[in-house]
Amino acid sequence: MQSGLPLGGALGSGGSIADACSVPVALTIAGSDSGGGAGIQADLKTFQELGVYGTSALTAITAQNTLGVQGVLPVAAEQVGMQMDSVAADLPPDAVKTGMLFSGEVIETVAERAVRYGWKKLVVDPVITAKGGARLLREEALEALRRQLLPLALAVTPNVPEAELLAGFPIRSFADRERAAAAIHSLGSRFVILKGGHAEEDRDRAVDLVYDGSGFLRLESPRIATRHTHGTGCTFSAALAAELARGASVPEAAAAAKAFVQAAIEDGLGLGSGHGPTNHFAYKRRMARRESGEHV
């Protein structure tokens, strides 16, 4: 796996421009979260923490905080396309992730650019609703997501409610999750990573399933009792894309992304009066303590 360079040291400590070119680049195509816990803000924080240079294409401006979403202003598909063109022309990404796309027109634009620029490491986070229940994908756009974007994805990262909508049936058991992963895989994505954070039957464990069409890999972690989980889905898919940009395989990247999110939840910031944000700084600090021999 290619090792990422700390962005602060790429040029700030005597490094050359040539040195900086070895920094992997990732692109996030998503909405803005004014509260900073999810969306492009969470993605760019995650990229930075994992030593990846982050670029972005904004799809919507949301007014939101830990209590909910107060408003959504979509960005025109043409402008979203222009942002992607600008990034691709000068800062070609090693991996790309999508988040809130909002409309069928934007989904079509993203799919067209993914083909045009040959984005092989495309992570689709099928953001449909916010943590508080606000709709972040128009009803008519779901079919565009299924038919136009998922066939281009290296990996798709639904949670249980999103998997129910993509697969077309309710998920009530672990067997249902496996069946849903297979159904979503049939839509074209090479890997399905079905996150288990919303699965109540797991009780004290959070079990994610990684499915490649031939078998399942289970990724497990202790379930944390907390309300501070805003942006965990965005953060997971961003960490996945960052690790892919650094050269990891999908199973390796999924395991690393789960560890990143687990640390972010366990070392929560305690901000806000509702569903608070996670701590995007926790993982790197935890790894630094581990490397120094400190027990974590």
Q: Which residues are catalytic?
A: 195, 229, 231-234
Alpha carbon 256 to its chain's center: 13
In the numeric block, which tokens belong to residue 217?
């890999």
The residue behind tokens 């972010």 is: 264
CA distance 275 to 67: 6
CA distance 242 to 4: 9
The CB density around residue 241, as the number of other CB atoms within 10 Å, is: 35
Q: Report the sign of the C-alpha dihedral through residues 57, 25, 7, 124, in that order.
A: positive
The residue behind tokens 């999810």 is: 38
- Tell me the three state secondary structure of residue 293: coil
Contact between 276 and 162 under an 8 Å Cβ cutoff? The reply is no
CA distance 92 to 34: 27
- Tell me the three state secondary structure of residue 149: helix
Put the strands of the sheet holding 68-74 in their side by side order.
Answer: 68-74, 53-65, 25-33, 95-98, 122-124, 155-156, 191-194, 205-211, 216-222
- Tell me the three state secondary structure of residue 77: helix
CA distance 220 to 248: 19
